[in-house]
């Protein structure tokens, strides 16, 4: 199946408000609307960039872009929340995306366009475009609003230029092109945005990219709740620090085991090269690394290079200020989390009796504990929310997405969700006026949604 011009034809619903807003903004009708969903990751956090499989499902909330093309090679990018997200105009030949500080929203849109332009023969032939963006995915909340925006923009560019890529090609293009923003992510978010199918959670494998259906037990539903803390991953060094710590740990283990280490970037590559089980990798981590953090000079000694070379050649600009690195805890998370994803998939395959459902819940909660204690990517508000979810009968609950804020996801018995939502409202959101105001958008039951697609006028 191709996406873009060959995509299944869907039509605008009568009175589509985005279509109307587009006509008001640009003075002519939109040619089509591109749609790309956000996601909730059920299990497998911070391991996609180590090459391990993850298990997300798409949300029904998406980013939508109404589009027309122009023959002036200009990009006009506007947002229905114009007070928060300001208009941008520029030339399509100048896709300048700056790394290093909090990115402006339109730079995520440019990432999607740049991804397509880097993957066509004649990028100078790409048409100018007028975009009106509308987002329903809560931003900076671990539900992948960033990748929904990048993927939607790439899909819009593909369609406007009558190009043709498969969903997997677009997912890989967008995984690379979102890195222009500065975060060294792994590809889960772009993969699920393009490969999702309604009603299905997906196991996503990398290198090569592949997705397979995971049948979730019939007797549960998933509840997403926002902690109220927003975290823009590209605005701080936290995300890339974790990527760097994991990579250095992997490289040290490669050196110690006489492997070529400089090109070795992912834990799964190392595991493959060493031909060891995940349990054996965990034992190797435990016998190699001390629990305390490592200094730059300790790491350069272990890698047998100078501290200057380590600094300038093996650390990306965003983490060159770091002087101390956690290695043992971070790799412990990576290998245990990879094992939890496999166990989750196997348990789903085994059918959904009650003990199976409880095992899935335990895996989710163990994942949260590992994110909190070993990966240190939670925050007090998320921990409070997860604890409250567990106390109110969830089989399991965990932070979802990169963390340091954003959302938690809980697995609860079908039929108990209304009571569960009321308990979260009372115990978390109704504590203050601020929480009361935002709880209707911050708390929802979700089911696996559809992947990215294009919708045409009636």
Q: Which does 326 bind (CB under 5 to 8 A by kind): ligand NG1, ligand ADP, Mg ion, none?
A: none
Q: Which does 149 bind (CB under 5 to 8 A by kind): ligand NG1, ligand ADP, Mg ion, none?
A: ligand ADP
Tokens standing for residue 441: 């958008």
Dihedral angle of Cα 377, 449, 111, 245, to the nearest 10 degrees: 20
Give catalytic status of residue 125 as yes or no: no
CB of 2 to ligand ADP, least distance (A): 27
Q: Pick out residues in 13-32 that bind ligand ADP (CB under 6 A).
A: none
227 near ligand ADP, rule: CB under 6 A: no
Q: Which does 46 bind (CB under 5 to 8 A by kind): ligand NG1, Mg ion, ligand ADP, none?
A: ligand NG1
Residue 206 DSSP label:
T
CB of 222 to ligand NG1, least distance (A): 17
Nearer to ligand NG1, 45 or 326 (CB): 45
Residues that bind ligand NG1 (CB under 6 A): 41, 45-46, 48-49, 142, 144, 146-147, 178, 183, 185-186, 188-189, 233, 401-402
Euclidean distance between CA atoms 343 and 333, whole angstroms:
15
Q: What angle do CA 134, 24, 3 make, to 5 degrees?
A: 45
Whether the Cβ atoms of residue 4 and residue 165 lie closer than 8 Å to each other: yes
Nearer to ligand NG1, 16 or 227 (CB): 227
Residue tagged active-site, from 6, 71, 189, 440: 189
Euclidean distance between CA atoms 288 and 256, whole angstroms:
9
Q: Can you tell me which residue has the tokens 């807003």?
A: 21
Euclidean distance between CA atoms 26 and 213, whole angstroms:
41
Q: What angle do CA 152, 73, 175 make, to 5 degrees?
A: 30
Tokens standing for residue 232: 């823009």
Shortest Cβ contact with ligand ADP: which residue?
135
153 near Mg ion, rule: CB under 5 A: no
Q: What angle do CA 179, 132, 104 make, to 5 degrees?
A: 40
Q: Which does 105 bind (CB under 5 to 8 A by kind): Mg ion, ligand ADP, ligand NG1, none?
A: ligand ADP
Nearer to ligand NG1, 25 or 180 (CB): 180
Tell which one of 112, 115, 135, 167 touches ligand ADP (CB under 6 A).
Answer: 135
Tell which one of 61, 146, 241, 251 touches Mg ion (CB under 5 A).
Answer: 146
Q: Which does 345 bind (CB under 5 to 8 A by kind): ligand NG1, ligand ADP, Mg ion, none?
A: none
Long-range contact pairs involving 183-186 (C-beta distance under 8 Å, separation at least 24): 183/233, 183/234, 183/239, 183/240, 184/49, 184/239, 184/240, 184/243, 184/316, 185/48, 185/49, 185/147, 185/239, 186/47, 186/48, 186/49, 186/50, 186/51, 186/54
Catalytic residues: 189
Binding residues (CB under 6 A) for ligand ADP: these are 63, 79, 85, 105, 108, 133, 135, 137, 139-146, 149, 232-234, 401, 406
């Amino acid at each position: 199946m191709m996406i873009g011009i060959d995509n299944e034809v869907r039509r605008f619903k009568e009175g589509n408000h985005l279509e109307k807003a587009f006509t008001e903004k640009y003075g002519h009708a939109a040619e089509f609307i591109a749609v790309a969903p956000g996601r909730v990751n059920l299990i497998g956090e911070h391991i996609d960039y180590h090459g391990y499989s993850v298990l997300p499902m798409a949300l029904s909330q998406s980013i939508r872009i109404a589009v027309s093309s122009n023959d002036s090679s200009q990009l006009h990018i506007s947002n229905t929340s114009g007070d928060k997200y300001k208009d941008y105009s520029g030339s399509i030949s100048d896709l300048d995306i700056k790394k290093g500080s909090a990115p402006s929203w339109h730079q995520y849109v440019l990432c999607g366009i740049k991804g397509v332009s880097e993957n066509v023969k004649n990028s100078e032939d790409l048409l100018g475009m007028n975009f009106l963006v509308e987002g329903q995915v809560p931003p900076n909340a671990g539900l992948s609003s960033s990748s929904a925006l990048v993927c939607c923009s790439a899909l819009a560019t593909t369609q406007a230029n009558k190009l043709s890529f498969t969903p997997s090609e677009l997912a890989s293009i967008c995984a690379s092109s979102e890195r222009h923003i500065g975060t060294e992510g792994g590809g889960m978010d772009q993969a699920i945005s393009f490969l999702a199918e309604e009603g299905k959670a997906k196991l996503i494998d990398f290198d090569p990219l592949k997705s397979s259906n995971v049948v979730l037990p019939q007797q549960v539903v998933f509840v997403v709740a926002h902690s109220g803390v927003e975290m823009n991953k590209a605005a701080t060094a936290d995300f890339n620090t974790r990527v760097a710590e994991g990579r250095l740990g992997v490289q040290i283990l490669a050196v110690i085991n006489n492997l070529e280490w400089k090109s070795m970037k992912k834990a799964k590559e190392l595991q493959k090269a060493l031909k060891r089980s995940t349990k054996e990798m965990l034992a190797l981590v435990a016998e190699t690394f001390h629990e305390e953090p490592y200094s730059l000079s300790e790491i350069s000694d272990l890698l047998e290079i100078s501290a200057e070379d380590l600094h300038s050649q093996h650390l990306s600009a965003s983490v060159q200020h770091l002087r101390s690195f956690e290695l043992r805890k971070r790799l412990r998370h990576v290998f245990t989390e990879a094992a939890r994803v496999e166990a989750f998939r196997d348990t789903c395959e085994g059918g959904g009796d009650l003990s199976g459902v409880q095992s899935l819940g335990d895996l989710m909660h163990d994942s949260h504990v590992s994110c909190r204690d070993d990966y240190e990517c939670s925050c007090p508000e998320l921990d409070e929310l997860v604890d409250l979810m567990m106390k109110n009968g969830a089989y399991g609950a965990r932070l979802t997405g990169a963390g340091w804020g954003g959302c938690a996801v809980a697995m609860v018995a079908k039929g108990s969700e209304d009571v569960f939502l009321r308990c979260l409202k009372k115990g978390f959101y109704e504590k203050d006026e601020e929480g009361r105001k935002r709880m209707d958008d911050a708390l929802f039951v979700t089911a696996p949604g559809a992947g990215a697609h294009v919708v045409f006028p009636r």
